[in-house]
Amino acid sequence: MFILFSILFFMIFGELIGLAFRATWGIFKIMTYIVFLPIILVLLVFGGFIYIAFPILLIVGLISLIAKA
């Protein structure tokens, strides 16, 4: 009986741990695109690195357009 309980216990909580990792990865991607990328681009512009910030902005913009299509 204990073996059956252990197997079912790890099956249920294993799925929950997998779900937690997927949710965390999704939240991290959203935070990166919405919060951190614009802050990094603004800091690059204020630091005088517009020649680095502009190509990054173009690449991200093209990828987002292609991903929606």
CA pair distance 66, 22, nearest whole angstrom: 24
The number of residues in the chain equals 69
User: Number of structural domains, the chain?
Assistant: 1
- What are the tens digits of pLDDT across the range 13-67? 888 888 899 999 999 988 888 888 888 888 888 888 888 888 988 898 898 889 8
Nearest to 67, CA basis, from 18, 29, 36:
29
The amino acid occupying position 16 is L
Q: Structural domain of residue 24, as residue ranges?
A: 2-68
User: Contact at 8 Å (CB) between 17 and 32?
Assistant: no
Indicate the helix (H) or strand (E) that contains 58: helix 50-68
User: In this predicted structure, what is the pLDDT of residue 34?
Assistant: 87
Whether the model clears a pTM of 0.85, i.e. scores above it, the answer is no
Rounded to an integer, the average pLDDT of 8-15 is 85
Whether the pLDDT of residue 10 is over 80: the answer is yes
